[in-house]
Structure 1
Amino acid sequence: MLFTLIVLLSLHLVVEREVRSKAEAKKSEIEAQMWRFLLLLQTWLLIFCLPFSICLASPAPWVMRISCGSRVNVHTPPTNTLWYKDFAYTGGIPTNSTATSYVAPPLKTLRYFPLSEGPNNCYNIKRVPRGHYSVRVFFALVAHQDPDPNFDNEPLFDISVEGTQIYSLQSGWSSHDDQVFTEAQVFLIDGTASVCFHSTGHGDPAILSIEILEVDDRAYYFGPEWGQGVILKTVTRLSCGNGKSKFDVDYSGDRWGGDRFWNKMPTFGQNSDKAISTENSIKKASNAPNFYPEALYQTALVSTDSQPDLTYTMDVDPNKNYSIWLHFAEIDVSITGVGKRVFDILINGDIVFEGVDVAKMSGDRYTSLVLNTTVAVKGRTLAITLHPKEGNHAIINAIEVFEVITAESRTLLEEVRALQALKSALSLPLRFGWNGDPCVPQQHPWSGADCQFDRTSNKWVIDGLGLDNQGLSGFLPNDISGLHHLQSINLSSNNIRGAIPSSIGTITSLEVLDLSYNFFNGSIPDSIGQLASLRRLNLNGNSLSGKVPVPLGGRLLHGASFNFTDNSGLCGIPGLPTCGPHLSAGAKIGIAFGASVAFLVMVICSMCWWKRQQNILRAQQIAARGAPYAKARTQTTHDIQMTRHHNHGYARTAAENGPSLLS
């Protein structure tokens, strides 16, 4: 858009400069007129093309369409709409679907959720830009079911979006085209979208497709209550005087409208009205923020002389608030101007709009007018009545009715993560259905998790865990400390192993801790002794050892109930063996190391002594076997020495007497 603007402005400056230069040069008048014409043409192009370029450059709404159970992307006729494959969003089982109604997209697969996988199952869609969205869910029947649906094979279940229940399927939905889907306007602000299905015990939830369509941030603003804390669930959309139901795409509507479905309403019945239509263009139709399709205003119902009041009546849930949007355009050729048709609008007998003159309030004939009001309905009937005051006839083009639902507060994120870590560490069976939000919708909390609303944070928190005797295995993770609002933990009679995490001692609100009849080992963390609110502690039937923290022993005197039996290694309080001298961990390590060194020295010394003894013994044995030979050898040596001594003496005497003898 910015590039187009720069180019057009540059062209304008170039042409204007050229005109001036030509004029200054006093060229021919014809040439000057030509350049003036080009300047005028360029100016008009700037005026008309700039809005067009802005329109072309405006971002398209974010869209995610999922064909549930499909292993490949799918394009559906007649609009070649893209549906993404169903991959890595949820559990459940993909299978083929029955033929859908003309309202539902022509998809051939679905995903269903057997109760064995838990009562709660969710599609968790990530990387959703922050914004306002129309979320729509289509249902279907599994293909192997009876093609002629009846009460026995129709799955009935509840649907929630972002933790708020928006719809409960009623018996007979599969035989009514306008009941094969539900839709709600909701704000998505945390980068994800959660759509959950809750079993009610009658069949397995089966989902054909999910659509998340971005709409204008101010779409369907109805007053001060509107905002992120409110969800608008679509009850009905009626195209009055039209004999065929259509989507926005069929009307060539703007994509920012969310591709709404408009149910046909050829008559209100009992000869109370007649249908009229026009091919004239309708002004102010597709305007922000709701972007209604122009064709919606080209048909209408008009009351008759025999029954001037125009009344539409529908069944609704009692004690709810409903936002009602009424659409008008004066397309009756018999009404030529302002004041020719005036009527009051009543909801359940109360006037909500008085003296409505469509031509006057819209500004002209063939111009759209939208009126909105929100009413509280105590009974089960919603009646919209148009009562003529001038002209003897009333007119209406379309009706929208939404149930105003207060969005549920979610569970504190830290506690959700702690429960998810606990689910993984304990290998929690699928039947528990720990999916979605633990506490909302309130009709379908997680099994074994007790919830309480915390008014300080305006969030739900977990104040109790009751998972006793459920065949759980695994270990107790340190992440359990994230459940810092817990008052009671009961994990007894399972197969949980490992040490009791010391982090459990940081849950200061804990009053009851029952870990009995598991396979916990190691010592009792000293931190548990610091839990001032703890009044019942059952650790019996485990493999714990070491000294019971002293504060726990003192607490017994104040009425607390503690059970440490069937742990052969525990000591330190009445009823358990007396503990020996208390040594620190460092001292225990030092003693163990010293003992190991001493033992090693003893082993080495013993080996040396044994070796020496073996050498001595061997020498003695050798001496005993060779004694006579050794004696003889000794005597011979002695004789030789004596002989040598004698000869030496003789030689010396001869030498001394030698000269005398020679002479």
Structure 2
Amino acid sequence: MLGHLLLLFTVFSALQLSYARNAPYAMRISCGARDNVHTRPTNTLWFKDFAYTGGIPANATRPTFLTPPLSTLRYFPLSDGPENCYNINRVPNGHYLVRIFFGVVAEPNFDNEPLFDISVEGTQFYSLRSGWSNHDDEVFVEALVFLTDGSVSLCFHSTGHGDPAILSLEILQVDDRAYHFSPQWGQGTILRTDKRLSCGAEKPKFGVDYSADHWGGDRFWDSITTFGQSSHLTLSTKNSIKKTSNAPNFYPEALYQTAIISTNNQPDLAYTMDVDPNRNYSIWLHFAEIDPLVTGVGQRVFDILINGDVVFQDVDIVNMSGDVNSALVLNKTVPVNGRTLTITMHPTKGGHAIINAIEIFEVILAESKTLLDEVRALQTLKSALGLPLRFGWNGDPCVPQQHPWSGAHCQFDRTSSKWVIDGLGLDNQGLKGFLPNDISQLRHLQSINLSGNSIHGAIPSSLGTITSLEILDLSYNFFNGSIRESLGQLTSLRRLNLNSNSLSGRVPATLGGRLLHRASFNFTDNAGLCGIPGLRTCGPHLSAGAKIGIVLGACVALLVIFTCLMCWRKRRQNILRAQGIAARDAPYAKARTHFSRDVQMTRHHGHENARTAVENGPSLLA
């Protein structure tokens, strides 16, 4: 007996450990918060907002009771650029429910309702509508998205109607197979929640209020008791419902314990909502036979129509689910051309229709993103050139296509199925930095226009590797140094403007020869350039830099020679001085000195006597 208990305990412990290891990833951020926040009544943890984005933190006003009880938000003034993003790293690859609550800044000088667009991973999936703060189900947006690169980027795009303001973000992992609606389902599809209704429920609830499985993503279920027809009735039960809380969607049991049922006065159940036209919608319908009057197969049968077309015929809940009080989920994805979507349950047996819950998703094809190397190169360029904040340059440069970066021109590359940068137009923007070598990573560039700025430094030789380049305009800047020989490798180049800089040296012959092939090159107003018609001849002339180098070299050489001579002279003097002192101090030197002095005196005396005899003797000519 003890062995069996030990075995059960071991299995139970293993299951607990497995559950702990496999708990879904969850990240909740209280935007603008300086500290982590726990909210009641569920004690939900919201992480502080740190190092995810720019913008300005501020106090928040809660638009509705559905909004999390958080006191701060973060807003993004247009002066910070039209695109601003939350970039969250270290997110495991997988399938996620992403939810964003919007905020209203609690200051009188702010517009009550900012209107802006929202994108995830480069795909725009929602635009706020006027009046959103007055509708409970519009104070947030929710979508299912696959994340595949270890991070998530959520961006907010200004539309000129107030500064985007965000109260909270939630990144909640769900099962990879959740809401598998068609063969096209997968990483290239985003499902935006349009409606999620719990029929017959008294009040809205989140998954946590249902004590739902964490892998369900804490979905929000709005409550509805009528479809606008007063003859409808609501049902509820406390009976257990079979086939709930199962993978991959993990629907909570309580969802199937309430329902709306039609009556004799209005046998059809019809739900109608406004939608955006020319879109695809994935519809999930939830049923459980909880009516005590229905106990077996064939007692309630109905057809399901979407905008008048039968999509499910002869639906018998008991037959299809296997029993009463057993969950049944039906899914259909349909195109909608008009502005309304109507779901109708039309009874064919039993006289009444029933439904427990409805989910409606807009199907959005995910945008192809820009090549990662080119995104990184643009970020390096942004930093090197000191790009003003008003440009933004956050998120993906090419997508969403409704909001490309200003100054970066995009083209879709069918070979890689990615967006690439084929042009830079940043002329007359007050740029003051330098041009980095990493610009060569933008290998699809056909045009570069950086004229009319204050860019300094050398022209990077790496520009010569962008073989597709046709136009290069760096005029009216402060570029210095020589023109790189590598620019001659740009065989497609047909316009080159380097005028009005501080360039020097010989223009590469490979560029000068191109002038004969209808290319338009401008090198004027560079005092140090030479070597082509219109500029001075190079000949034996040396550039200013070369002349300065020669003068400096000569000065250094003279200084070295002078220093060596001074050292040699000083050393020579020291040696001679030492020798003289040594000679004077020696005994034999003193004796020799006295002897020499006596000899000299004797010689001098004899000479004087001889001179006197001659001078005083008789003249031989006398």
Task: Output the TM-score relative to the length of structure 1.
Answer: 0.83
**Which whole-Å CA distance do the structure 2 matches of 1:123 and 1:211 have between them?**
12
Is structure 2 residue 222 aligned with structure 1 residue 263? yes
Change (3 A) 1:51 1:578: closer
Q: Which moved more, 1:416-425 or 1:545-554?
A: 545-554
Give how far 1:594 is off. Answer: 7.3
Give how far 1:506 is off. Answer: 0.6
Q: What is the aligned partner in structure 2 of residue 190 from structure 1?
A: 149
**Which whole-Å CA distance do the structure 2 matches of 1:305 and 1:168 have between them?**
41
Give how far 1:514 is off. Answer: 0.4
- Cα deviations across residues 326-346 of structure 1 (Å, max 9, x unaligned)? 000000111111100011111
Q: What is the aligned partner in structure 2 of residue 651 from structure 1?
A: none
Q: How does 1:61-210 map to 2 (within 5 A)?
A: 61-145=24-108, 153-210=112-169
Larger radius of gyration: 1
Give how far 1:59 is off. Answer: 2.1
- Cα deviations across residues 256-291 of structure 1 (Å, max 9, x unaligned)? 100000011110012242111111111111100000
Change (3 A) 1:555 1:272: farther
Is structure 2 residue 201 aligned with structure 1 residue 246? no
Give how far 1:307 is off. Answer: 1.4
Residue in structure 2 matching 1:480, options 416, 431, 439: 439
2:312 alignment partner, SS class: strand
**Which whole-Å CA distance do the structure 2 matches of 1:425 and 1:86 have between them?**
28
Give how far 1:51 is off. Answer: 9.3
Q: Which amino acid aligns with 1:92?
A: G
Give how far 1:371 is off. Answer: 0.4
- Cα deviations across residues 238-271 of structure 1 (Å, max 9, x unaligned)? 0111121111111111111000000111100122
Is structure 2 residue 328 aligned with structure 1 residue 363? no
Change (3 A) 1:215 1:276: same
Q: Which amino acid aligns with 1:289?
A: P
Q: What is the aligned partner in structure 1 of residue 177 from structure 2?
A: 218
Q: Which moved more, 1:590-599 or 1:119-128?
A: 590-599
Residue in structure 2 matching 1:642, options 575, 585, 607: 607
Q: Would the aligned equivalents of 1:94 and 1:112 in 2 still touch at CA under 8 Å?
A: yes
Q: Which amino acid aligns with 1:90?
A: T
Is structure 2 residue 510 aligned with structure 1 residue 510? no
Change (3 A) 1:285 1:637: same
Stretches of structure 1 that go unaligned for 5 or more consecutive residues are 1-7, 13-40, 612-634, 647-663
Q: What is the aligned partner in structure 2 of residue 60 from structure 1?
A: 23
Change (3 A) 1:637 1:64: farther
**Which whole-Å CA distance do the structure 2 matches of 1:55 and 1:368 have between them?**
27
Q: What is the aligned partner in structure 1 of residue 350 from structure 2?
A: 391
Q: Which amino acid aligns with 2:458?
A: A
Q: What is the aligned partner in structure 2 of residue 557 from structure 1?
A: 516
- Cα deviations across residues 29-88 of structure 1 (Å, max 9, x unaligned)? xxxxxxxxxxxx889x58995896587556211100000000000000010000000000
Change (3 A) 1:607 1:298: closer
Q: Would the aligned equivalents of 2:86 and 2:153 in 1 still touch at CA under 8 Å?
A: yes
Is structure 2 residue 320 aligned with structure 1 residue 328? no
Q: Would the aligned equivalents of 1:343 and 1:394 in 2 still touch at CA under 8 Å?
A: yes
Change (3 A) 1:361 1:589: same
Q: How does 1:606-621 map to 2 (within 5 A)?
A: none
Q: What is the aligned partner in structure 2 of residue 351 from structure 1?
A: 310
Q: Would the aligned equivalents of 2:146 and 2:187 in 1 still touch at CA under 8 Å?
A: yes
Change (3 A) 1:58 1:364: farther
- Cα deviations across residues 197-218 of structure 1 (Å, max 9, x unaligned)? 0000000000000000010111
Change (3 A) 1:47 1:468: closer
**Which whole-Å CA distance do the structure 2 matches of 1:590 and 1:362 have between them?**
91
Residue in structure 1 matching 2:332, options 355, 359, 373: 373
* Count of aligned residue pairs for this structure pair: 581
Q: Would the aligned equivalents of 1:272 and 1:310 in 2 still touch at CA under 8 Å?
A: no
Give how far 1:99 is off. Answer: 2.8
Q: What is the aligned partner in structure 2 of residue 28 from structure 1?
A: none
Give how far 1:640 is off. Answer: 1.8
Residue in structure 2 matching 1:411, options 370, 373, 390: 370
Give how far 1:597 is off. Answer: 7.0
Q: Would the aligned equivalents of 2:33 and 2:49 in 1 still touch at CA under 8 Å?
A: yes
**Which whole-Å CA distance do the structure 1 matches of 2:541 and 2:339 have between them?**
74
Change (3 A) 1:248 1:225: same
Q: Which amino acid aligns with 2:79?
A: S
Give how far 1:156 is off. Answer: 0.1
**Which whole-Å CA distance do the structure 2 matches of 1:494 and 1:224 have between them?**
52
**Which whole-Å CA distance do the structure 1 matches of 2:537 and 2:75 have between them?**
60
Change (3 A) 1:76 1:598: closer
**Which whole-Å CA distance do the structure 1 matches of 2:12 and 2:554 have between them?**
94
Q: Which amino acid aligns with 1:533?
A: S
Identity %: 73
2:104 alignment partner, SS class: coil
Q: What is the aligned partner in structure 1 of residue 574 from structure 2?
A: none
**Which whole-Å CA distance do the structure 2 matches of 1:637 and 1:399 have between them?**
145
Q: Which amino acid aligns with 2:255?
A: L
**Which whole-Å CA distance do the structure 2 matches of 1:590 and 1:179 have between them?**
71
Q: Would the aligned equivalents of 2:53 and 2:85 in 1 still touch at CA under 8 Å?
A: yes
Q: What is the aligned partner in structure 2 of residue 455 from structure 1?
A: 414
Q: Would the aligned equivalents of 1:100 and 1:106 in 2 still touch at CA under 8 Å?
A: no
**Which whole-Å CA distance do the structure 2 matches of 1:251 and 1:204 have between them?**
35
**Which whole-Å CA distance do the structure 2 matches of 1:594 and 1:119 have between them?**
54
Residue in structure 2 matching 1:296, options 236, 255, 267: 255
Residue in structure 2 matching 1:274, options 224, 233, 245: 233
Change (3 A) 1:49 1:72: closer
Q: How does 1:492-571 map to 2 (within 5 A)?
A: 492-571=451-530
Q: Which amino acid aligns with 2:208?
A: V
Q: What is the aligned partner in structure 2 of residue 27 from structure 1?
A: none
Q: What is the aligned partner in structure 1 of residue 3 from structure 2?
A: 11
Q: How does 1:310-329 map to 2 (within 5 A)?
A: 310-329=269-288
Stretches of structure 2 that go unaligned for 5 or more consecutive residues are 571-599, 612-622
Q: Which amino acid aligns with 1:519?
A: F
Is structure 2 residue 462 aligned with structure 1 residue 491? no
1:116 alignment partner, SS class: helix
Q: Which amino acid aligns with 1:572?
A: G
1:450 alignment partner, SS class: strand
**Which whole-Å CA distance do the structure 1 matches of 2:602 and 2:84 have between them?**
109
Change (3 A) 1:572 1:57: closer
**Which whole-Å CA distance do the structure 1 matches of 2:358 and 2:115 have between them?**
28
Q: Which amino acid aligns with 1:496?
A: I
Q: Would the aligned equivalents of 1:253 and 1:293 in 2 still touch at CA under 8 Å?
A: yes
**Which whole-Å CA distance do the structure 2 matches of 1:643 and 1:57 have between them?**
130
Q: Would the aligned equivalents of 1:100 and 1:107 in 2 still touch at CA under 8 Å?
A: no
Q: Which amino acid aligns with 2:45?
A: L
Give how far 1:546 is off. Answer: 0.6
Change (3 A) 1:100 1:526: same
**Which whole-Å CA distance do the structure 2 matches of 1:486 and 1:564 have between them?**
22
Change (3 A) 1:604 1:341: closer
**Which whole-Å CA distance do the structure 2 matches of 1:232 and 1:373 have between them?**
14
Give how far 1:187 is off. Answer: 0.9
**Which whole-Å CA distance do the structure 2 matches of 1:394 and 1:328 have between them?**
10
Q: Would the aligned equivalents of 2:300 and 2:317 in 1 still touch at CA under 8 Å?
A: yes
Q: Which amino acid aligns with 1:642?
A: H
**Which whole-Å CA distance do the structure 2 matches of 1:383 and 1:399 have between them?**
12
